[in-house]
A = this chain, B = another copy of it.
């Protein structure tokens, strides 16, 4: 039901809803292992500390996937959410900066399972260029624009020092890439049609710090 969204509906969907879809997807993937055939909004909510109403409302933006009196079919709902999130296909990902964080990401197997295939690595360190990481040869950063284009890269992960990140991102944008996952602690400037998500670990630690000095009880739904 409701395969594609029109522009109007699409823009009503909040960032939080999308983030929760990721959580539902993860929870459903867990349940699939079990013998669970169906799951209720109540159970789904409990596993991610949300409210049942929230789960139902989120899903209702995209269609009606459940059966009244029964709940949602686990596998089917998982697949529908995968489709909505666009992870029912392969995404070609390149990673720039094969340092501490970069190496950790290349070795991470879960990304492949979700369709995120890291197919290209870039660095400017002569010792790293040409070396093999999990079957991928590190490319020279000087060929960045050409190789991103030639390889039809769709998502770029930035794992270089903040000082060079903006400069490299300008090239990434030139290569026509529309999605960037950024680990460098700075606000990247990109055109309006390029999507950027930031991974900011310092921010999360600072949040914990704030919570502790203020003895702030964690926010939870009832």
Q: Which residues from chain B contact A202 at a C-beta distance below 8 Å? A: 22, 26, 110-111, 114
CA–CA, A27 to B187, complex, Å?
9
**A72-80, A100-108, A140-148 - the one binding chain B:** A100-108
Flag if A212 contacts B179 (CB, 8 Å): yes
Nearest to A193 among chain B residues (CB) is B217
A8 located at the interface, meaning its Cβ lies under 8 Å from any Cβ of chain B in the complex: no
Whose C-beta in chain B lies nearest to the C-beta of A157?
A: B205
Partner of A111, one of B11, B30, B108, B205: B205
User: For the complex, what is the distance from the CA of A101 to the CA of B159, rounded to whole Å?
Assistant: 13
Task: Tell whether, in the assembled complex, residue B181 and residue A205 are in contact, meaning their CB atoms are under 8 Å apart.
Answer: yes
CB-CB nearest in chain B for A106: B100
In the complex, A87 Cα to B208 Cα: how many Å? Answer: 10
**A-B pairs with beta carbons under 8 Å apart, 19 shown:** A10-B216, A19-B207, A48-B187, A49-B187, A86-B209, A100-B107, A110-B185, A110-B202, A111-B202, A114-B205, A116-B205, A116-B209, A155-B208, A155-B209, A181-B201, A181-B205, A181-B208, A197-B205, A197-B208
